[in-house]
Amino acid sequence: MALLDIHVLGSPILRRETELVTQVTPELRRLADQMFETMAAAKGVGLAAPQVGRSERLCVIEVEERRLALFNPEIVHREGAVRWEEGCLSIPEVFADVDRAGLVRVRALDLEGNPFEVEGTELLGVALQHEVDHLHGKLFLDRLSLLKRRSALKAWDRERDKYPEGLRVLPVTDVREGSSATSAAAPADD
């Protein structure tokens, strides 16, 4: 399966609001599958549609054993607070501590188009909040204090020239560990 190119900071699509998915079509299931593959190749734990140049409200997350495709995800509950070091596949090599809710509950549609809820703390909770932000044009940099944002942008200045077209093209790799789990969990196309 072809990996998708990842849009990096500066690409306008990262700042756009996404569009509600009205139907989870086979095409969108294929997109979710490609996003899982791309995320794994880039060694990320989450990836949102705008990061691969798409406008659908869709993100994927893989934290520990949990693989989640979330269409139209919405945070319906948050509590507590946590400070977590975050990075982003669209801002490679830049990391910063971000203040987030300690626990969130998210409502979304799954790959079959059925509603479900997922609750997360720690890395899963942070990933859910980070990806939902992406779907509303928001990046973790926006959640930093002015000072921390400045130093993050300085770090990015040293990286951005690696992505002249605003795209991060992943090298094609060998079959990875866990790829059998990937295909087992992937839905059959209609």
Q: State the nearest-atom distance from the C-beta of 42 to Ni ion, in Å.
A: 10
Q: State the nearest-atom distance from the C-beta of 114 to Ni ion, in Å.
A: 26
Residue whose C-beta lies closest to Ni ion: 88
Residues with a catalytic annotation lie at 131
**Gap between the Cα atoms of 175 and 16, Å rounded:** 34
**Gap between the Cα atoms of 120 and 46, Å rounded:** 14
Nearer to Ni ion, 42 or 113 (CB): 42
Mask for 65-104, x = binds Ni ion (CB under 5 A): -----------------------x----------------
What b-and-e string marks burial along 80-107, b requiring 16 or more CB atoms within 10 Å of the CB? eebebebebbbbbebebebebbbbbbbe
Query: Are residues 137 and 90 in contact, defined by beta-carbon separation less than 8 angstroms?
Result: no
Q: State the nearest-atom distance from the C-beta of 69 to Ni ion, in Å.
A: 16
Query: Are residues 61 and 70 in contact, defined by beta-carbon separation less than 8 angstroms?
Result: yes
Strand partners, 115: 109
- For residue 15 the two structure tokens come to 């700042």
Cα distances (Å, whole numbers) of residue 152 to 23, 84, 118, 167: 38, 15, 31, 19
**Gap between the Cα atoms of 80 and 120, Å rounded:** 12
Nearer to Ni ion, 3 or 88 (CB): 88
Nearer to Ni ion, 24 or 48 (CB): 48
Residue with tokens 């188009």, as numbered in its chain: 113
According to CB under 5 A, which residues from 38 to 67 bind Ni ion?
Answer: none
Nearer to Ni ion, 29 or 134 (CB): 134
Count the site residues for Ni ion by CB under 5 A. 1
Nearer to Ni ion, 33 or 86 (CB): 86
According to CB under 5 A, which residues from 119 to 178 bind Ni ion?
Answer: none
Residues at the contact surface with Ni ion, assessed by CB under 5 A: 88
